[in-house]
């Protein structure tokens, strides 16, 4: 896709976002409410089906374009956290599902008739150590019986399906460390029996929950790929997620930088614009440089992904640098605005809370550094 075409898509995303100004997000933030109207508009516009091939009703635009969509959403002061997973969670089905499973779910996901935006991996006790998860799925005839608990399962209350990672073979019986976990698609509409979803109130409006499974029956037909290979399937999907969320961070950084530089040029104290002082302008300029550099890495990750080439290193570096650039820009924006940064109406304190998440989730910075140290630099493993 040419830069002109990308520019056209970004312009239509910006036009959509103009319908959802700061006042819309502030009201939701106060109530911790889901941005239903925004998600519906994103769905109607077809943006959430960007990674689904045309054969299944998506637009098949690829990750290079998808990152621009989310970047533009955030650059315009909106937040795609409520629906970004509709874009990428289906990747596990697309890549590892059977033809029948793809035909069953992907067209509905592309149109928005089916919401697949819940991803149940993290558990309270396992944390970043995914292989230590203890939710089990035991095969009984043509169903799996699921028991256990997930935490931070975002958007579960706004999702029809959940991609669940559960243990199907006990840890001490597997040949290789990464074996024994399986991916099941849980239909949250059909599997209500034994399933409890509890919202967790967080420092930003994120619709995240904890999910309890008590003898929940999931049809064996909903197993993705081969039983016991689920951990690899989940790892496979993570690069797209990293790049997309990194793009949101870049958009956040761009929003903070635009806001900070405009205010610094406008606000006069001691008889001249505060932005004439290098103590004010340098942090903004530094955040700008960090953002430009991070964007190049994220774009590179997406290009490699679309070419079917390995991109784990680029996606992880991009996600780390982008989350740090967003944070530097947020800091500079707060400092530049002085006291006004703390007033709700400026939207800065809300965006500040929102963008902090991405140094922790979906993967924390330390885990990215450990990945780079161990894989790129071949240093000893720390875990």
Ligand X SMILES: Cc1cc2nc3c(=O)[nH]c(=O)nc-3n(C[C@H](O)[C@H](O)[C@H](O)COP(=O)(O)OP(=O)(O)OC[C@H]3O[C@@H](n4cnc5c(N)ncnc54)[C@H](O)[C@@H]3O)c2cc1C
Binding stretches for ligand X (CB under 6 A):
119-122, 127-128, 152-154, 202, 206, 208, 357, 360-364, 366-367, 370, 382-383
Q: How far is the CB of 288 from ligand X (least distance, A)?
A: 27
Which CB atom, from 239 or from 281, has the smaller least distance to ligand X?
239
Residue with nearest beta carbon to ligand X: 127
Contact 108, 43 (CB under 8 A): no
Which CB atom, from 169 or from 202, has the smaller least distance to ligand X?
202
Stated as kind and residue range, the H or E segment containing 253 is helix 230-266
Give CA separation, 198 vs 5, 32, 152, in Å.
42, 14, 10
Q: How far is the CB of 155 from ligand X (least distance, A)?
A: 7
What is d(CA 133, CA 126) in angstroms, rounded to the nearest whole number? Answer: 5
Helix (H, G, I), strand (E, B), or coil: what is residue 242? helix
Q: Give every CB contact of residue 334 below 8 A, 6+ residues apart in sequence.
A: 341, 348, 349, 352
Q: How far is the CB of 86 from ligand X (least distance, A)?
A: 12
Contact 111, 49 (CB under 8 A): yes
Stated as kind and residue range, the H or E segment containing 162 is strand 161-167
Which CB atom, from 153 or from 291, has the smaller least distance to ligand X?
153
Q: How far is the CB of 38 from ligand X (least distance, A)?
A: 18
Q: How far is the CB of 273 from ligand X (least distance, A)?
A: 37
Which CB atom, from 165 or from 329, has the smaller least distance to ligand X?
165
DSSP state for residue 374 in the 8-state scheme: I
Q: How far is the CB of 200 from ligand X (least distance, A)?
A: 8
What is d(CA 318, CA 310) in angstroms, rounded to the nearest whole number? Answer: 14
Which CB atom, from 68 or from 354, has the smaller least distance to ligand X?
354
What is d(CA 109, CA 113) in angstroms, rounded to the nearest whole number? Answer: 6
Q: How far is the CB of 111 from ligand X (least distance, A)?
A: 23
Stated as kind and residue range, the H or E segment containing 186 is strand 181-187
Which CB atom, from 114 or from 320, has the smaller least distance to ligand X?
320
Q: Give every CB contact of residue 283 below 8 A, 6+ residues apart in sequence.
A: 328, 331, 332, 335, 336
Which CB atom, from 68 or from 160, has the smaller least distance to ligand X?
160
Which CB atom, from 206 or from 351, has the smaller least distance to ligand X?
206
Q: How far is the CB of 118 from ligand X (least distance, A)?
A: 7
Residue with tokens 């690829």: 62
Nearest to 205 by CA among 1, 331, 27: 27
Contact 121, 182 (CB under 8 A): no
């Amino acid at each position: 896709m040419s830069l002109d075409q990308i520019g056209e898509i970004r312009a239509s995303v910006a036009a959509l976002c103009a319908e959802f100004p700061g006042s819309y997000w502030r009201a939701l933030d106060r109530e911790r409410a889901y941005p239903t109207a925004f998600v519906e508009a994103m769905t109607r516009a077809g943006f959430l089906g960007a990674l689904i091939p045309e054969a299944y009703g998506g637009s098949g635009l690829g990750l290079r374009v998808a990152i621009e969509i989310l970047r533009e959403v955030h650059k315009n002061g909106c937040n795609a956290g409520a629906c970004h997973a509709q874009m990428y969670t289906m990747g596990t089905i697309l890549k590892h599902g059977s033809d029948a499973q793809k035909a069953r779910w992907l067209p509905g996901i592309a149109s928005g008739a089916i919401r697949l935006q819940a991803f149940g991996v993290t558990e309270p006790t396992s944390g970043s150590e995914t292989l230590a998860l203890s939710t089990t799925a035991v095969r009984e005839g043509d169903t799996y019986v699921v028991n256990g608990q997930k935490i931070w399962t975002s958007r579960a209350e706004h999702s029809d399906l959940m991609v669940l990672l559960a243990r199907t073979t006990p840890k001490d019986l597997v040949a290789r460390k990464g074996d024994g976990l399986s991916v099941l698609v849980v239909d949250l509409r059909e599997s209500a029996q034994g399933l409890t979803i509890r919202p967790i109130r967080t420092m930003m409006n994120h619709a995240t929950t904890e999910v309890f499974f008590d003898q929940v029956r999931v049809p064996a037909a909903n197993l993705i790929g081969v039983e016991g290979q689920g951990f690899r399937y989940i790892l496979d999907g993570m690069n797209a997620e990293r790049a997309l969320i990194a793009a949101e961070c870049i958009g956040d950084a761009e929003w903070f930088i635009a806001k900070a530089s405009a205010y610094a040029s406008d606000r006069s104290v001691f008889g001249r614009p505060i932005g004439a002082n290098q103590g004010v302008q340098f942090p903004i300029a530094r955040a700008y440089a960090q953002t430009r550099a991070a964007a190049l890495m994220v774009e590179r990750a997406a290009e490699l992904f679309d070419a079917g080439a390995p991109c784990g290193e680029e996606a992880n570096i991009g996600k780390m640098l982008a989350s740090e650039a967003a944070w530097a820009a947020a800091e500079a924006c707060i400092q530049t605005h002085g006291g006004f940064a703390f007033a709700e109406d400026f939207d800065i304190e809300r965006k500040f809370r929102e963008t902090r998440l991405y140094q922790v989730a979906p993967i924390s910075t330390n885990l990215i550094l450990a990945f780079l140290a161990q894989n790129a630099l071949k240093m000893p493993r720390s875990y």
